[in-house]
Chain A
Amino acid sequence: MEYLYTIIILVGLYVVLASSFNLVIGYAGLISIAHPVFYAIGAYGSALLARDFGWPAPLAMLAGALLAVAASILLALPSLRVSGDYLLIASIGFQLGLLEIIKNVSWTGGAGGLTNIPAAFAPSTPHWVYAVIVVVVAALSVLAVRAVAHGAYGRAMSALRDDELAFSMLGRNAVAMKVGSFALGCGLAGFAGALYAHQFRYLAPDQFEILQSSAILTMVVVGGLRTTWGPVVGAVMLQALPQAITFMNLPPSLLGPLQGLLFTGLVLVFMFIRPQGLIPAADVWTGAKEAHDVGRR
């Protein structure tokens, strides 16, 4: 039972990660691989605030998410000012650079990891409570991304992806819109990180490496870019698949690379054989009222 809750929590967190990454890379069309690092910022931020400054867990979690928002704006503003291409390069540098810092300073626990993170609830609380909370957060994230993508904001994001010049000439602020959607996506990832930290109570920098980036990217690309349910399907499927490999009792030195191979290989296969993913997106943007049939065609 315990194991089942853990799986539910992990799947739920990946649903949040994949949906929010879909907002960034799919709807906003911003290429970043640093999504796991915002997950890390939320996790470390919340964990340290709760552990070393005694903040209550819910407050620390919110602060962790806001920290991720702030960091994402810091990353996006200078790189997006120039052109979208630079965001990807900046994101690679940001991810590797920040992990380098986490590994090298003592107050994050260094490469050995951060331990003794306070739990969110007293030990007497039944374990299913946290699983329910995570599932609710996951559902809310999916709905929030969907609402944003199929509302007035989503219409504008769609236009921006089509033609940035024409978009700007209509009086829309393209940079603000890109930074805004990036910050929202990264904030959700940060919140997921905070939820992770107070449940598993241990964080290590390798959990947020590029392997994670490929995992999340795979979930979105395989599930279906720019669809509500694609990333959810991708997250559930790809979280279950590596679990199956875990059962094969491989040594960890093989397990990581094998998972990585699986993720990257799947992205390649889908990219060339079924670029639209399992759930293809509609060609034309639809507003909220018509949104229920998006992705089912």
Chain B
Amino acid sequence: MLSADIIAQILWTSLATSSYAVLFALAFALVLKVNRVFNFAQAAMMTVSFYAAHATVALAGLPSWLGFLAALAGSLAIALLIEVLGFRTLRRRRAAQMFVFIFTLIISELVAYIAMLVFGTWPATIFPSLFWPVTLVGGIAVSAWDLPAVGAMLLAVAALFGFLRFARMGQFMVAVSDNPDLAELYGIAKERVFLFAMVISALLVALAMFLYGTRAQVQPTTSIELMLFAIAATIIGGIGNLWGAAITALLLGVVQNASVLFIPSEWQGFLLYVFLFLAIVFFPNGIRLPQRSRRLTRKTPTPTLDASPTSDPQKV
């Protein structure tokens, strides 16, 4: 039963569905890395961007590119609100970590309830139909959704990579995430960097949610589950390691898709929680790959007897 065709099909489907999963994971991992916040409010950004697109395209009958813009605008608006009114205030008050957790989680729930009141609890879509024409490519069914989705994902990932590597703001982000206090010394405005990370995360979320919403039905509570998948990927990928999170999201997608062969379909959803538990129990610090010498490690010469240590003579 496990023919090469089936395996190829599973791999392809996994790659296609990973398009949004990778972006969700990147968005979550980025904010965790730079802002050092488990941003559970990402689910709120996801919910808002989906319903913004849904309202624009499905309800108002406007063209899909306007729907995409609406998703972007919705996600950005929420991200800015959360950062400017929420995180900033909490940082200023030096609020306990617990309050930040509660805040992000409560925002997601609040938005879900608002969505339920406005749009109802039943599943909704962006386009009236979720059906995409399928072509057979060498025995593999490729839908018209797959290629643009994967292409968009790859573009977004490349843009993020380029941004972090070459743009000044991106380099600042990496610097702040490595050492917030040191970054401050060099005059990097942390507040702006935090804001920017939220903005990028919002853009990634909007794109990913638009992709998801054109392929599957969404309910107000869907986002939280999608986010848990991103969290599992982030933890297993190693906290602070963006690309690890992205690759893990892809691999978890393969496992989930392959599980169709072994697990009854009503238990498919349960797999997510298994991932989450395995991540926490077995890979709390991520999967350790053999240490490569990291580019950013500061090289400090081993002190020798001739070195001149600085000291404060007053103390003696």
Question: In the complex they form, do A and B come into direct contact, defined as C-beta atoms under 8 angstroms apart?
Answer: yes
Which residues of A approach B to under 8 Å, CB–CB? 25, 29, 31, 33, 78-79, 81-86, 88-90, 92-94, 96-97, 100-101, 104, 210, 214, 217, 221, 253-254, 256-258, 260-261, 264-265, 267-268, 271-272, 275
Chain B 31-58 residues near chain A, CB threshold 8 A? 38
Let me know if B61 is at the binding interface, CB within 8 A. Answer: no
As a 0/1 sequence over residues 80 to 121 of chain B, the CB contacts with chain A under 8 angstroms (1 = contact) are 000000000100010111110111011101101110110011
- B residues sitting closer than 8 Å to A (CB atoms) are 38, 89, 93, 95-99, 101-103, 105-107, 109-110, 112-114, 116-117, 120-121, 224-225, 228, 231, 235, 266-267, 269-270, 272-274, 276-277, 280-281, 284-285
Q: Which of B93, B99, B273, B281 has the most CB of A within 10 A?
A: B273
- When A261-B114, A267-B106 are in contact, do A85 and B280 touch as well, CB less than 8 Å? no
- Cβ of B98 and Cβ of A31 under 8 Å apart? yes
Are B105 and A33 in contact, CB atoms less than 8 angstroms apart? yes
- Given contact pairs A88-B38, A96-B228, A82 touches B280 in the complex (Cβ within 8 A): yes
Known contacts A31-B102, A97-B273; A265/B110 CB under 8 A = yes
Q: In whole angstroms, what is the CA distance A264 to B114 when docked? A: 11
Chain B: minimal CB distance from A123 (Å): 37
Closest to A267 in B: B106
B280 touches A267 (CB 8 A): no
A217–B277 contact, CB under 8 A?
Answer: no
A104 touches B270 (CB 8 A): yes
Closest 10 CB pairs of A and B: A97-B273, A257-B116, A93-B276, A260-B113, A82-B284, A264-B110, A261-B113, A78-B281, A257-B113, A257-B117
Chain B residues with Cβ below 8 Å from A90 are: 276-277, 280
Main secondary structure of the interface of B (DSSP, over half): helix
Q: How far is the CA of A30 from the CA of B203 in the complex (A)?
A: 33
Smallest beta-carbon distance A61→chain B, Å: 28
Determine how close the nearest CB of chain A comes to the CB of B229; give it in whole angstroms.
11
How far, in Å, is A75 (CB) from chain B's closest CB? 9
Known pairs A217-B102, A264-B106; list 7 more (Cβ under 8 Å).
Answer: A79-B281, A82-B285, A85-B97, A86-B235, A93-B272, A257-B116, A257-B121
Do the beta carbons of A85 and B38 come within 8 Å of each other?
yes
A260 to B280, Cβ gap below 8 A? no
Give the docked Cα–Cα distance between A93 and B110 (Å): 19
Instruction: Assess whether B113 is in contact with A78, with CB atoms less than 8 Å apart.
Output: no
Measured CB to CB, the closest approach of chain B to A171, in angstroms, equals 25
B105 touches A25 (CB 8 A): no
What residues of chain B lie closer than 8 Å to A31, measured between beta carbons?
Answer: 97-98, 101-102
Q: Cβ of B109 and Cβ of A260 under 8 Å apart?
A: yes
Q: Please determine whether A104 and B266 come into contact, CB atoms closer than 8 angstroms.
A: yes
- Least CB separation from B234: chain A residue: A89
The A contact surface, by secondary structure, is: helix
Known interface pairs A85-B38, A253-B121, A271-B103; A261-B276 also in contact (CB < 8 Å): no
| Distance in Å: Cβ of A79 to nearest Cβ of chain B | 5
A268: contacting residue among B93, B106, B269, CB under 8 A? B106
Q: In the complex the two chains form, is A214's CB within 8 Å of B228's CB?
A: no
Q: What are 29 A-B residue pairs whose CB atoms fall within 8 Å in the complex?
A: A25-B98, A31-B97, A78-B281, A79-B281, A83-B284, A84-B97, A85-B101, A88-B101, A89-B38, A89-B231, A90-B276, A92-B224, A93-B272, A93-B276, A97-B277, A100-B270, A100-B273, A104-B266, A214-B106, A221-B102, A253-B121, A257-B113, A257-B117, A257-B121, A258-B113, A261-B110, A264-B109, A265-B110, A271-B103
Instruction: Evaluate contact between B102 and A267: CB separation under 8 angstroms.
Output: yes
CA distance A253 to B121 in the complex (A): 8
* Distance of A217 Cα from B98 Cα, bound (Å): 12
Note all chain B residues with C-beta closer than 8 A to A25: 98
| Neighbouring B residues of A253 by C-beta, 8 Å | 120-121
Q: Which of B99, B114, B269, B280 contacts A86 (CB 8 A)?
A: B280
Q: Which residue of the partner chain A has the closest CB to B118?
A: A257
Contact yes or no, A271 B113, CB < 8 A: no
B89 adjacent to A272 (CB under 8 Å): yes
Judge whether B98 and A29 touch: CB under 8 Å.
yes
| Nearest CB in chain B: distance from A93 CB, A | 4
Given contacts A101-B270, A261-B114, contact A93 B277 (CB under 8 A): yes
Shortest Cβ gap from A183 to chain B (Å) = 18
